[in-house]
Structure 1
Amino acid sequence: MGVSPPVLHRGLSSGQMGMLTIGSVIGTGLFLGSGLAVSMAGPTVLLAYLVAAVLAVALTYAAIEMAAANPDLNGFGAFAYRYLGPLAGFAQRWLYWGVVVISTGTQAVAVGIYVRYWWPQVPLWIPVALSAAAVVVTNLFSVRAFGTLEYWFSAIKVSAIVAFLVLGVVLVTVGLPNRPAVGLTAFTDAPSYLPQGITGLAVALVVASFSFGGTETLALAAAESRNPSLDLARTARWTILRLCVFYLLGMAIVVCVAHAVAAAPDGELTASPFVRVFDWAGLPIAAAAMNFVVLTAALSALNAIVYVSTRTLFSLAVDGQAPRWATRVNRRGVPVNAVAASAVGLPFAVTVALVSPDDAFAKMLGIVMFGAITTWVLIFATHASFRRRRTADEVRRSPLSLPGGWRTSASAAVAMAAVAVGMLFIDIFRTAWTVGAPSLLAILAAYAVVRMVRDRRGTTRPGGRRGGPRARRSAREPVERPSAPR
């Protein structure tokens, strides 16, 4: 008799799903990357974030529609395998792992930048290295209830954002004691709506897309939702709405205050623009408090990303799609080899911070975006194939359907691919192609090797034992982990 596949516990409420998703999305992209976007695009940064929001909505709807129709599958790699074939499924999972691994480096660089707000004389690579070492040690010696912890960390981040928005709206509209209202002159009397031209707007679009990354993972939480048929649609709508309000209103406040004090965010990213707003407004205590919040958020995200990337590699190895050594665990049940392999993004971040401290974050962000865009294109392509097989009645019964069906997905996939191609012509993001393109070719070559080995040995169950149809399905349609905070 075959061994039944593991079943995830359905314990997440719609409120927890929404908070965890918001907490995962609100991170370095908003708290730090937005400064680069504002410095490059000026007032038109709102247009970049609006376009990114539309793409994020389409991606989330597409992912949730597939998740609701395929409760037996967990993860975009499994969707890609069923609707696009085994090569797409294999590539999707490994690209996802690569994105998460490099994301650890991005978060570590952000931690270093936040620390340098207080101690600017400290070389960037030192806080990057210290935070990386601390997080790796934490993941080696303890495994916590990440869902509960990240819920509260997310609550802290959301509370800080709400406080920032309230104070920012007051500052823009009516002013503070001894500080007149800054008004909307940034939009009504701007010297240039495209200070860096079309290139600046393209950079802002890449950063905005990175900022919204992670919204699609709401679909992955369906496997642990108490009532996925009801929770998914309701939670998706409210989550996307809140994120759009947070991002668009937050960017509008930063632009208004920066214009009023003639102190636009610098492209070198020496601090979070959310911190700088309080500096510009003459509120140093509030600025220090906000910097502490964004530093805590980055450390929380870094810790969670290392955890997620480790378990992702472990699940790949269990399913026979990664080396067996990644399944080895220590006495505490921690997959130590997977931790070591998944931490490769951290020494890479230290190296980038040491060699190129002025644009370390932008380079790391570009590399992450190359992999993320590729995985998003695959999700849209998967959804297009999925919808072409669905009947009109099946679409009507779905709790959430993407308007326009496969045509919308195909258009969005083309748009995302165009963003990736555009990165070739942006100096700070060109490194992404230097690293990303060879990595993608390596994944395709690895699939050819894995396929050849399986053809010779026969398909095996996770753990190396030969099996029947259920074992083959388990290896081909594996469980994936939710992605990490951004």
Structure 2
Amino acid sequence: MSSPASPPPAPQGPASQAPAQEDHTLSRGLSMRHIQFIALGSAIGTGLFYGSATAIQAAGPSVILAYLIAGAVVYMVMRALGEMAVRHPVPGSFGQYAARYLGPFAGFVTGWTFVFEMIVVAIADVTAFGVYMGFWFPDTPRWIWVAAVILFIAAINTRNVKIFGELEFWLTIIKVGAIIAMIVGGIVLMVIGVSFAPGETVGPQNLVDHGGFMPNGVGGLLAALSVVVFAFGGIETIGITAGEAGDPARSIPKAVNAVPARILLFYVGTMVVIMSLVPWNTITGDASPFVQIFSALGIPAAPTILNIVVIVAAISAINADTFGAGRMLFGLAEQGQAPHAFTKVSKAGVPWLTVVVMAVALGIGVVLNALIPEDVFLVIASIATFATVWVWLMILLSHIAMRREIERKNRPESAFKVPFWPVASWAATAGILFVVVLLGWFPDTRVALVVGVVWLVLLGVGYALFVKGGGRHRPDLDDHTALITLPRT
């Protein structure tokens, strides 16, 4: 990848392929299975294993409908991002697309909002990792585990991107395996009639026997929807992988088409099994449903097994967050919207300085997390909620602008066009805007909208003070044909 002032690299034949040696070239080392599991793993985190109780309490069994509605919106976001990623497989992904099709300021805000989201989420995950390790080593200071995982993730992310992809692949295999085991185990418990509550029968009838399928009405469904949407946060990381995919024209479409259905299966399947085994109004969140089910199956080490799974989920999330934030910073630097030093890469084709910055940010964040009051930290962390909505909205609007330009300038049609254009794209955009309204409507999530607006104002000031000339998008974004044939290295 060249610097912003130089032309895009020319295609090379197999004989000329070599490890990335130049200052501004990323290595294309991610295979199709890497990309599919990175996207899958980034949207399956500790929230599913521990945090699903909140959504269940709000909507009851109708939380299943909330997951289906959110899943439909996520699918359109993924398809829009997929079309742009195949057409323009560049580092920085949707940050670069927003700058190209909506203007430099939109790209600046989108890129930096995503970076900040990744930092905040990763800070929460490294803190959680220390808590989880305390399950086995209660006398060991938590900061030792936090420092250890930060150094481990930094080491992985400074190696060739293929190593990162392999780690994410195996970590996701463990997470998915735990979910499948829970679903299958839950079905077995229903067949043999094991009950978790005295006098309560088990089976699908529990989905309607306790106040109906929608016990808290439409209001409860909407309250859950504003929470459920963010369970899918992070799935946009698939766009970040396009800049290092060995064959983006083939791997991105397959991943985009496969991942949403698999995630819906895991989330919806998990919710159906849990609420069939346990009446929804008895789910308090005090204990993980996974522990309950594994224990009922006669597995005495259920808490230990779950602790291993959530540790894996935390490491996977920190790894993916570090990767995503680093590549976004690389793209911002190419646009002149971040320090130019972030474009320098190692001989392995990795932007090493962005990894160092992420490691330092995580270290500082953990210190702040220990020092500042908890309520202040929660206010800061709420930007992650707003950031997910903002990034998805920018993806959809960038895609709509790109489609309009293709039609207006009679450019070649995309190889991976979104379905049902333009109706589905505008419907998904309306859905995202509706979620923004929900954020402001419910008191529990209102702080996310307030903090988000403040964040946008701060970015506006930063843009005016530090970005000279507004920045610029990559020149090769003007001609998609130069990108589909980018070389593998």
Match of 2:443 in 1: 427
Match of 2:86 in 1: 68
The residue correspondences of 1:42-61 to structure 2 (distance < 5 A) are 42-61=60-79
Matched, 1:80 2:98: yes
Moved more, 59-68 or 275-284: 275-284
Matched, 1:204 2:224: yes
State percent identity of aligned pairs.
32
Paired with 2:30 and 2:153, the residues of 1 have a C-alpha distance of 24
Paired with 2:145 and 2:450, the residues of 1 have a C-alpha distance of 27
What amino acid sits opposite 1:428 in the alignment? D
Paired with 1:99 and 1:155, the residues of 2 have a C-alpha distance of 25
Matched, 1:258 2:278: yes
Moved more, 55-64 or 99-108: 99-108
Match of 2:108 in 1: 90
- In structure 2, relative to structure 1, the CA distance for the partners of 1:244 and 1:138 (3 Å cut) is same
- CA drift of 1:192 comes to 4.9
Paired with 2:129 and 2:431, the residues of 1 have a C-alpha distance of 32
1:218 to 203, 223, 238: 238
1:412 to 420, 424, 428: 428
What amino acid sits opposite 1:12 in the alignment? L
Matched, 1:387 2:403: yes
What amino acid sits opposite 1:156 in the alignment? I
- CA drift of 1:11 comes to 3.5
Contact kept, 8 Å, 1:21 with 1:215, in 2: the verdict is yes
Matched, 1:367 2:387: no
Match of 1:292 in 2: 308
The residue correspondences of 1:323-342 to structure 2 (distance < 5 A) are 323=339, 334-335=352-353, 336-337=356-357, 339-341=359-361
Matched, 1:135 2:149: yes
Match of 1:14 in 2: 32
Matched, 1:444 2:463: no
What are the ranges of 5 or more consecutive residues in structure 1 without an aligned counterpart? 461-470, 478-486
- SS of the residue aligned with 2:278? helix
Match of 1:23 in 2: 41
- CA drift of 1:190 comes to 1.9
Paired with 1:371 and 1:134, the residues of 2 have a C-alpha distance of 28
- CA drift of 1:351 comes to 5.2
- CA drift of 1:203 comes to 3.6
Contact kept, 8 Å, 1:34 with 1:207, in 2: the verdict is no
Paired with 2:327 and 2:238, the residues of 1 have a C-alpha distance of 18
Match of 2:124 in 1: 106
Matched, 1:355 2:374: yes
Paired with 1:302 and 1:72, the residues of 2 have a C-alpha distance of 22
- CA drift of 1:59 comes to 0.5
Paired with 2:112 and 2:254, the residues of 1 have a C-alpha distance of 31
What are the ranges of 5 or more consecutive residues in structure 2 without an aligned counterpart? 10-23, 480-489
- In structure 2, relative to structure 1, the CA distance for the partners of 1:226 and 1:183 (3 Å cut) is same
Match of 2:208 in 1: 188
Contact kept, 8 Å, 2:150 with 2:359, in 1: the verdict is yes
- TM superposition score normalised by structure 1: 0.78
- In structure 2, relative to structure 1, the CA distance for the partners of 1:421 and 1:117 (3 Å cut) is farther
Paired with 2:101 and 2:245, the residues of 1 have a C-alpha distance of 24
- In structure 2, relative to structure 1, the CA distance for the partners of 1:363 and 1:255 (3 Å cut) is farther
Paired with 2:394 and 2:329, the residues of 1 have a C-alpha distance of 20
Paired with 1:18 and 1:306, the residues of 2 have a C-alpha distance of 18
- In structure 2, relative to structure 1, the CA distance for the partners of 1:394 and 1:68 (3 Å cut) is farther
- CA drift of 1:49 comes to 0.6
- CA drift of 1:240 comes to 1.9
- TM superposition score normalised by structure 2: 0.78
Paired with 2:82 and 2:450, the residues of 1 have a C-alpha distance of 33
1:230 to 250, 256, 262: 250
Paired with 1:472 and 1:13, the residues of 2 have a C-alpha distance of 25
What amino acid sits opposite 1:225 in the alignment? A
What amino acid sits opposite 2:262 in the alignment? R
- In structure 2, relative to structure 1, the CA distance for the partners of 1:428 and 1:347 (3 Å cut) is farther
1:377 to 388, 393, 396: 393
- CA drift of 1:13 comes to 3.0
Matched, 1:302 2:322: no
- SS of the residue aligned with 1:107? helix
- In structure 2, relative to structure 1, the CA distance for the partners of 1:232 and 1:338 (3 Å cut) is closer
What amino acid sits opposite 1:264 in the alignment? I
Contact kept, 8 Å, 1:172 with 1:183, in 2: the verdict is yes
- SS of the residue aligned with 1:379? helix
- CA drift of 1:73 comes to 7.1
- CA drift of 1:30 comes to 1.9
Tell me the number of residue pairs that the alignment of Structure 1 and Structure 2 aligns: 451
Paired with 1:71 and 1:308, the residues of 2 have a C-alpha distance of 14
Contact kept, 8 Å, 2:92 with 2:331, in 1: the verdict is no
